[in-house]
Amino acid sequence: MSNNSSSKDWWRGAVVYQIYPRSFADSNDDGIGDLRGITDKLDYVTSLGVDAIWLSPFYKSPMKDYGYDVADYCDVDPMFGTLDDFRKLLAKAHKLGLKIIIDFVLTHSSDQHKWFQESRSSRDNPKADWYIWADAKPDGSPPNNWQAHFGGPSWTFDVRRGQYYFHNFLPEQPDINLRSPGARKAIFDAARFWLDMGVDGFRLDAALHYFCDPSLKDNPSNPNPSSSWLEHQTPFSMQKHENDIHIPDTLAFMEELRALMDKYDGRMGVAEIGGERGIILAAQYTDGPKRIHTAYNFSLITGDTASASRIHGALGEFMDQPGDGWPSWAFSNHDVPRIASRWFSDKSPCAHNPRFSKMLIALLCSLYGSVFIYQGEELGLPEAQIAFEDIQDPWGKFLYPLWQGRDGCRTPMPWQAGKKNGGFCKTKPWLPVPGAHTKLAVDRQEKEKDSTLRFTREFLKWRKTQPALVRGDIDFLETGNDDILVYTRTLGGSSILCLFNLSGETKILKKSAGAALFNAGEQTGMPTGGTVTLPPYGFSFSPVVSEN
């Protein structure tokens, strides 16, 4: 794995802060966050010590999937503002030294997009092949057995055209046919529009879904349907997705997109790679200078427990792959329950432990690769509990009461502890702000000396002075205890020993638990009497002094 660094590969080892625009900052008090609100808060983001921002979609959209159903790739939805508002946001971010990465949702559009409206009008119009259409079977049923993520078949019949169209997600999100030269050109023209404006990169949504098997073969059944990446058994998880996901054409398309981005200085792409083979595919999709720059997978944003073997296993599996790929890691994002609740041993609603949240920040930001912090992680926000009548997420409505969906991690940011709705807005917000979040508001944590927010700022400031933590190699050390994670980060002649207690109990490491650990530890000036004591959720970083 390469560790070379330059202004063109600023993203290697970068800390990226994800902003979900609907829920970050509301500048016009309509209950929905917007671009001006983000611009007003850029000084706050800068103060965290992050390198870049990833903005979830703000494109024009009917909001059936909250912006991931794009109706115009080159315009801003009025609820978020205007293109001029985005230009001002971009200019201020760059002035502050922040890079801006935007979501690029090119696997599907909204059914309200003018491209789809024309495509569905007939079988011989200029955009007839811009989406994936197929005839019904003789009995009128869908072309094959493919199932959509959000429930039901992946096919919806359109009476105007007299055919089924394919959609991996909602029926309102028809998949674009990237084999169509016209559609492909239109997508690349949209990419150029934003690159010309000056964005620093793209987060590539659902990257494995860009192509499906043109022969539309049925998927085989999955003998272990409970192993879906969100761990909920649905018709989607009951299949092995051999013919509708990760088709070989995708890699060639990624190389074409990378070639376009390479025409612009210092731009990058980060691909969202899901599925059971996500780590292997993330390494494959980032292997070499022709493929996408980096990718993240779901290995650390799923599961309800923290363990050394989980983290070691994920990073180890990536590094064991052939090639020169560069990983990205996240513990939370807009699609999964917040890490402060998901991995916390106390599963009571909105339980919060600042020690645990600080440990998570230190752990994530010392892993090998680039890392993504989701808004509110710097506050230690727990997962919000959403009443059924308040659920907005279509996935949540489909899975309730098994799961409340993604709304629990999408509630508005709490800015002021003493204000209604945590200072997000005075009117009713699009999702409720829990009282447990208001208690963790930004203004309160800025005043508290030992808050998670102040720790995040201090840690990321210190991290910038430690090249080994940013770009160094990683080597894991065995302790014989799955609650204790130990590794070294090494760059050149500098090495740092990193220890984490992932449990809520004090842990004592005995010398017999791992000689390698104590060989390194003894060189740091750590206790040499045969044990090291780590308090609940404790962690430490120590320089390893060379014996030479």
Every domain of the chain and the residues it spans: 7-107+182-212+259-462, 110-175+220-246, 471-543
Handedness of CA 415, 421, 426, 427 (dihedral sign): positive
The distance between the two most distant Cα atoms of the chain, rounded to a whole number of Å, is 80
Tens of pLDDT, residue by residue over 295-338, are 999 999 988 889 999 999 999 999 999 999 999 999 999 999 99
Q: Tell me if residue 505 is catalytic.
A: no
Q: pTM of this prediction? A: 0.94
Q: What is the DSSP letter of 183?
A: H
223: pLDDT strictly greater than 50: yes
Domain 7-107+182-212+259-462 has CATH 3.40.1410.10: no
Three-state SS for 524? coil
Kindly name the residue from 158, 205, 244, 378 that is annotated as catalytic.
205
Q: In whole angstroms, give the CA distance from residue 144 to residue 137.
A: 8
Contact criterion met (CB below 8 Å) for 152 and 235: yes
- SS percent in the chain: helix, strand, coil, step 5: 30, 15, 50
Residue 506 burial (C-beta neighbours within 10 Å; 0-12, 13-18, 19+): exposed
Burial class of residue 126 in the structure, from the number of CB atoms within 10 Å of its CB (0-12 exposed, 13-18 middle, 19+ buried): exposed
- Whether the pLDDT of residue 542 is over 80: the answer is yes
Average pLDDT, the chain: 92
Q: Residue 354 — very low, low, confident or very high, per pLDDT cuts 50/70/90?
A: very high
Question: What is the mean predicted confidence (pLDDT) over 225-236?
Answer: 64
Three-state DSSP at 262 gives coil
Under 8 Å between Cβ of 316 and 280:
no
What gap in Å lies between CA 203 and CA 548, rounded to an integer? 44
DSSP string, 406-471: GGGGTSPPP--TTSGGGGS-SS--SS---HHHHTT-HHHHHH-TT-HHHHHHHHHHHHTT-HHHHH
Residue 511 pLDDT greater than 70, yes or no: no
* Token reading at 109: 């559009």
Q: Residue 226: pLDDT band by 50, 70, 90 thresholds?
A: low
| Helices and strands, number each (H, E), in the chain | 16, 19
Confidence of residue 350 (pLDDT cuts 50, 70, 90): confident
Rounded average pLDDT over 283-303: 94
For residues 372 and 533, what is the distance between their CA atoms, to the nearest angstrom? 30
> CA triplet 499, 503, 507: central angle to 5 degrees?
65
pLDDT of residue 401: 84
Q: Which of 214-223, 349-358, 395-404, 458-467 has the lowest mean pLDDT?
A: 395-404
Cα torsion angle, 196, 202, 208, 209, sign: negative
pLDDT, tens digit (0-9, with 9 covering 90-100), for 37-83: 999 999 999 999 999 999 999 999 999 999 999 999 999 999 999 99
pLDDT tens-digit readout, 101-127: 999 999 999 999 999 999 999 999 999
Q: pLDDT confidence of 3, banded at 50, 70, 90?
A: very low
The whole-angstrom separation of Cα 180 and Cα 183 is 5
Q: 3-class SS at 354?
A: helix
pLDDT in tens, 396-447: 888 888 888 899 999 999 999 999 999 999 999 999 999 999 999 999 999 9
230 or 144: which carries more pLDDT confidence?
Answer: 144
Residues in the chain: 548
pLDDT given at position 302 = 86
Give how far Cα 96 sits from Cα of 46, 381, 497, 521, Å. Answer: 7, 26, 32, 39
The one catalytic residue in 172, 244, 272, 335 is 272
The DSSP bridge partners found for residue 374 are: 18
CATH class held by domain 471-543: mainly beta
How far apart (Å, rounded) are the C-alpha atoms in residues 405 and 346?
A: 20
> If one looks up domain 110-175+220-246 in CATH, what number appears?
3.90.400.10
Q: C-alpha dihedral over 504, 510, 515, 518, to 10 degrees?
A: 70
Measured CA to CA, the distance from residue 125 to residue 118 in angstroms comes to 7
Known catalytic membership, residue 272: yes
Which range among 23-27, 148-152, 484-488 shows the weakest confidence by mean pLDDT? 148-152
Say yes or no to pLDDT of 517 above 80. no
* Per-residue model confidence as pLDDT tens digits over 179-217: 999 999 999 999 999 999 999 999 999 999 999 999 999
Q: Could you read off the pLDDT of 148-162 as tens digits, one per residue?
A: 998 899 999 999 999
Helix 249-261 with 278-285: angle, nearest 10 deg: 50
Terminal-residue alpha carbon distance, the chain: 26
Measure the CA–CA gap between 484 and 498, rounded to whole angstroms.
11
On whether the CB atoms of residues 362 and 500 are closer than 8 A, the answer is: yes
Q: Who contacts 451 (Cβ-Cβ below 8 Å, separation ≥6)?
A: 354, 444, 445
> 189-199: per-residue pLDDT in tens?
999 999 999 99
Q: Which of 167-176, 204-213, 225-234, 495-504 has the lowest mean pLDDT?
A: 225-234
The encoded tokens of residue 211 equal 């192509």
- Percent residues over pLDDT 70 in the chain: 93
CA distances from 380 to 24, 45, 49, 339, 446 (A): 15, 16, 17, 9, 13
pLDDT value, residue 74: 98
* pLDDT(234) > 70: yes
**pLDDT in the model for residue 516:** 56
pLDDT above 80 for 545: no
Residue 528 has pLDDT above 60, yes or no: no
- Report the run of H or E that residue 164 belongs to, with start and end: strand 163-166
